[in-house]
Amino acid sequence: MKLYNTLTRKIETFAPENKDEVKIYTCGPTVYSHPHIGNYASYIYWDLLIRTLTANDYKVNRILNITDVGHLSSDADEGEDKLEKGAAREHKTVWEIADYYIKDFLKGYDSLNLVKPNKITRATDYIEQDIKLVDLLTKKGYTYELEDGVYFNTDHFAHYADFAKLDLKHLQAGARVEFNTSKLHPSDFAVWKFIKSGETHAMRWDYLGRPGYPGWHLECSTIIHTELGEPIDIHTGGIDHIPVHHTNEIAQSEAAFDTKLSRFWLHCNFITIDGNKISKSLGNIYTLEDLKERGFSPLDFKMWILQGHYQSERNFTFDDLAAAKRRRLNWRNRIALLYQADENKHSNTFSKRVKLGLAPLSALEKKSFECLLVDNLNDNLNSAAAFSLIDNSELTLADWQKIDELFGLNLIDDTPDIPNSLKDLIKQREQARTDKDFAIADKIRQELEANNIIINDTPTGSIWEYKA
């Protein structure tokens, strides 16, 4: 299996350190509002990663973290706390906001049929361990205290700039991080923040005799240490995490525990909408609910995401989403044809239909269809190539079962065989056509269409399909 490793900027052959288990950690969402489709894109890519590892017979041990704690709106340990902002907006407590949006996130997660992680952690459950980590960093001489918090001294960590290939000499104060005049270096970051007297910050824990809360990179280092142990095999996140969040995670963890944090780092690129960044000011923040209101299932969106590659920037348009929806329907109708193929009456028609323009599988290679699909995914998660293989192969129901296992598109579950009552109607309609009773035939066709079934008449009989 080959994956692009941000650590080396190379495509490398992946194998876990311990052959029995792949340890994976995914930085999760900050739960203060509905996630948009760009946020979910990353979890779809990592779902493909997990399913591909499983298809390679690896056992996966994966943590998905949820940031439910004071997490500031800029990378610079400054700005508004996102949860406080959500609480003010909705007249709720920060804890209610976190609980509500965790449920909301997981509802969307399930609707995309994403494999459940082995454990979902909440950052606020690890404060004690956070404090131990800050203590350890302080003991090892990596921190200094300022009026507003405890800071990590990036100058003491020799490889700080390596991961993101940062040019620290030319790092302008205010360019990557807002300038804090007291910090020793612009890239230094808070591992713990103090709450000033008079400041209303509902999430607070006592440390060093004062109320405060963890710096926002800390939770990932703490949770990886507590739940998985360094080094993990794969750490995933969005490309926005490379220069600050992941750089700081590496610095804290490696300074504290003297070992590599993760062997592989996978980063997904961003989704733009009609060529623009997803942002409130442009009014282009779409949620999964917005897509549903426009007649798209979350799985149509998953289909669209899997048509592309996690390392490419993707431009979302509703036209392209509609095309992905049609492609998914087309696949479901190929499954519907397989149900009909079991009936002798239709078997001739079926083979003619399915074979139309499609290469017989035996001509491809002697390998099983599943192996061919997995080969494509093992090539740095090339789902687009796997999809064209699906388009161009004659498949059995068992093959479609494998496709569902690999992509979680619910093709079979969303394509039930139709009830006998509808099959009887199809027969009655055929009889009416034979009897040249076209008024009845038309009436029955309308009734079938009302049940989302369309009928195609062929010389050997009628075939049903799901309506677009």
Binding stretches for ligand AMP (CB under 6 A)? 29-30, 38-39, 41-42, 237-238, 240-241, 270-271, 278
Q: Smaller CB distance to Zn ion: residue 27 or 98?
A: 27
**Cis amide linkage into residue 231, ω under 30° from 0:** yes
CB of 240 to ligand AMP, least distance (A): 5
Q: Smaller CB distance to ligand AMP: residue 256 or 306?
A: 306
Cα 309 versus chain centre, distance = 12
Question: Would strands 60-66 and 22-26 be described as parallel, antiparallel, or unpaired?
Answer: parallel
CB of 43 to ligand AMP, least distance (A): 9
Residue 76: strand, helix, or coil: coil
Chosen from Zn ion, ligand AMP, none, partner binding at 39 (C-beta under 5 to 8 Å by type): ligand AMP
What is d(CA 241, CA 270) in angstroms, rounded to the nearest whole number?
11
Distant-in-sequence, close-in-space partners of 71: CB < 8 Å, separation ≥ 6: 30, 81, 82, 83, 216
Q: Smaller CB distance to ligand AMP: residue 133 or 244?
A: 244
Q: Smaller CB distance to ligand AMP: residue 83 or 256?
A: 83
Residue 60 — φ and ψ, nearest 5°? Answer: -105, 135
CB of 380 to ligand AMP, least distance (A): 18
Q: Which amino acid is at 245?
A: H
Q: Smaller CB distance to ligand AMP: residue 43 or 464?
A: 43
Contact predicate 425/446, CB 8 Å: no
CB of 277 to ligand AMP, least distance (A): 7
Chosen from Zn ion, ligand AMP, none, partner binding at 349 (C-beta under 5 to 8 Å by type): none
CB of 163 to ligand AMP, least distance (A): 16
Chosen from Zn ion, ligand AMP, none, partner binding at 271 (C-beta under 5 to 8 Å by type): ligand AMP
CB of 140 to ligand AMP, least distance (A): 29
CB of 42 to ligand AMP, least distance (A): 5
Nearest to 440 by CA among 421, 425, 457, 462: 425
Cβ-based burial of 305 (10 A; exposed 0-12, middle 13-18, buried ≥19): buried
Task: Indicate the residue whose CB is closest to ligand AMP.
Answer: 238
Chosen from Zn ion, ligand AMP, none, partner binding at 41 (C-beta under 5 to 8 Å by type): ligand AMP
Chosen from ligand AMP, Zn ion, none, partner binding at 220 (C-beta under 5 to 8 Å by type): Zn ion
What angle (nearest 5°) sits at the alpha carbon of residue 172, between those of residues 311 and 183? 110
Contact predicate 146/181, CB 8 Å: no
Cβ-based burial of 18 (10 A; exposed 0-12, middle 13-18, buried ≥19): exposed
Chosen from Zn ion, ligand AMP, none, partner binding at 30 (C-beta under 5 to 8 Å by type): ligand AMP
CB of 376 to ligand AMP, least distance (A): 23
Contact predicate 6/265, CB 8 Å: yes
3-state DSSP helix/strand/coil percent for the chain, to nearest 5? Answer: 45, 20, 35
The secondary structure of 34-65 as a DSSP string is ---HHHHHHHHHHHHHHHHHHHTT--EEEEEE
Q: Smaller CB distance to ligand AMP: residue 123 or 131?
A: 123
Work out the end-to-end distance of the chain between its first and last CA atoms, rounded to an integer number of angstroms.
Answer: 37
The DSSP output letter for 37 is H
CB of 311 to ligand AMP, least distance (A): 12
Residue 51: strand, helix, or coil: helix
Chosen from ligand AMP, Zn ion, none, partner binding at 106 (C-beta under 5 to 8 Å by type): none
Q: Smaller CB distance to ligand AMP: residue 39 or 333?
A: 39
CB of 105 to ligand AMP, least distance (A): 9
Q: Smaller CB distance to Zn ion: residue 27 or 305?
A: 27
Q: Smaller CB distance to Zn ion: residue 237 or 308?
A: 237
Q: Smaller CB distance to ligand AMP: residue 63 or 255?
A: 63
Chosen from ligand AMP, Zn ion, none, partner binding at 238 (C-beta under 5 to 8 Å by type): ligand AMP
What is d(CA 39, CA 286) in angstroms, rounded to the nearest whole number?
10
CB of 256 to ligand AMP, least distance (A): 23
Entry field: residues in the chain:
468
Chosen from ligand AMP, Zn ion, none, partner binding at 187 (C-beta under 5 to 8 Å by type): none
Task: Report CA torsion sign: 280, 283, 286, 287.
Answer: positive
H or E stretch at 82: helix 82-90
What angle (nearest 5°) sits at the alpha carbon of residue 17, between those of residues 14 and 19? 90
Give the binding site for Zn ion (CB under 5 A): 27, 220
Chosen from Zn ion, ligand AMP, none, partner binding at 308 (C-beta under 5 to 8 Å by type): none
Q: Smaller CB distance to ligand AMP: residue 42 or 253?
A: 42
